[in-house]
Amino acid sequence: MRKFSMLVLTFLAFAGLAHAADTNSVYLEDLTSPELHAREAAGATTILIPIGGTEQSGSNIALGKHNVRAKILSGRIASILGNAIVAPVIAYVPEGDINPPTQHMRFPGTISIPQAAFQDMLKGAARSFKQHGFKDIVFLGDHGGYQTDIKIVADALNKEWGDGAVRAHALPEYYGATQTTYVAALEKRGFSKSEIGVHAGLADVSLMLATQPTLARMNNLSNRAADGVVGDPKRASAELGALGVDAQISTSVEAIKKAQMR
């Protein structure tokens, strides 16, 4: 009994240490309201809103890929900035018509909401953070399909707020790095555009391996368009994915710092 009690106490002690460490987290969900207030008072007046999406990637990647990547990368960006907090990930985004199904909605597991609802959700989140004292509200969209929506929302909010004391930022650089710098780096290493792909191909699977490898299914890879794949992931690796991760982080940090200077 004494041995059991010591084990319990040891576990509780470690649990307490883990809980204490969460007060230094960059993730809003890990903080209490007073802790968040204190962080803002200390200068953390930038909020990053990661936007993912729940969509199919064939048999190659789990449905939550965008949500997981957006959260992880936003956390790394916030840590480098030192004055930013990461909001909860927005996982519900436009992914095509529901009935009859189009785009990713043709495959099981994809969740789609109307564009108007998506835009309203972003506006509501941004207005909430403005109310709580954040000065730079940054949308980080991990999916290409709604980049225009994000810009429409940021422009509308900035027009609504008017004086520039609080600004919304669409930050196209975050997603854009995966389509430019990352692709160029892969091509430089001899990979073709058709292999790199635009969805669940070599680039996409490599990004997943570099962020949350358990979501990639390396034993069941497909390169068939009929499976919802555009590209060939068979030579994907975490090392290649790190090229994209580094590009997204460095490009985003630079763009956010520039946006903060006003």
- Look up the domain containing 118 and give its range: 26-260
- Tokens at 57, concatenated: 């990637």
| CA angle in degrees (0–180, nearest 5) for 211-194-53 | 40
The reply to whether 5 falls in a domain is no
The reply to whether 226 falls in a domain is yes
pLDDT for 22 equals: 76
The reply to whether 10 falls in a domain is no
The reply to whether 118 falls in a domain is yes
The reply to whether 16 falls in a domain is no
Per-residue pLDDT reduced to its tens digit, 5-55: 544 444 445 445 444 547 899 999 999 999 999 999 999 999 999 999 999
The reply to whether 21 falls in a domain is no
The reply to whether 122 falls in a domain is yes
For residue 195, pLDDT beyond 50: yes
For residue 247, pLDDT beyond 90: yes
Per-residue pLDDT reduced to its tens digit, 97-146: 999 999 999 999 999 999 999 999 999 999 999 999 999 999 999 999 99
Burial (CB count within 10 angstroms: exposed 0-12, middle 13-18, buried 19+), residue 108: exposed
pLDDT for 9 equals: 45
Burial (CB count within 10 angstroms: exposed 0-12, middle 13-18, buried 19+), residue 107: middle
Q: Report d(CA 115, CA 38) in Å as an integer.
A: 35
pTM: 0.91
3-state per-residue secondary structure call for the chain: CHHHHHHHHHHHHHHHHHHHHHHHCCEHHHCCHHHHHHHHHCCCCEEEEEECCCCCECECECCCHHHHHHHHHHHHHHHHHCCEEECCCECCECCCCCCCCCHHHHCCCCCECCHHHHHHHHHHHHHHHHHCCCCEEEEEECCHHHHHHHHHHHHHHHHHHCCCCCEEECCHHHHHHHHCHHHHHHHHCCCCHHHHCCECCHHHHHHHHHHCHHHECCCCCCCCHHHCCECCCCCCCHHHHHHHHHHHHHHHHHHHHHHHCC
Q: Report d(CA 252, CA 23) in Å as an integer.
A: 25
- Tokens at 65, concatenated: 């890929």
pLDDT for 115 equals: 97
pLDDT band with cut points at 50, 70 and 90 for residue 262? low
The reply to whether 100 falls in a domain is yes
Per the CB < 8 A criterion, the answer to whether 42 and 33 are in contact is no
The CATH number of the domain holding residue 125 is 3.40.50.10310
Q: Region 219-225: what's the mean pLDDT? A: 96
Number of domains in the chain: 1
For residue 199, pLDDT beyond 50: yes
Per-residue pLDDT reduced to its tens digit, 84-104: 999 999 999 999 999 999 999
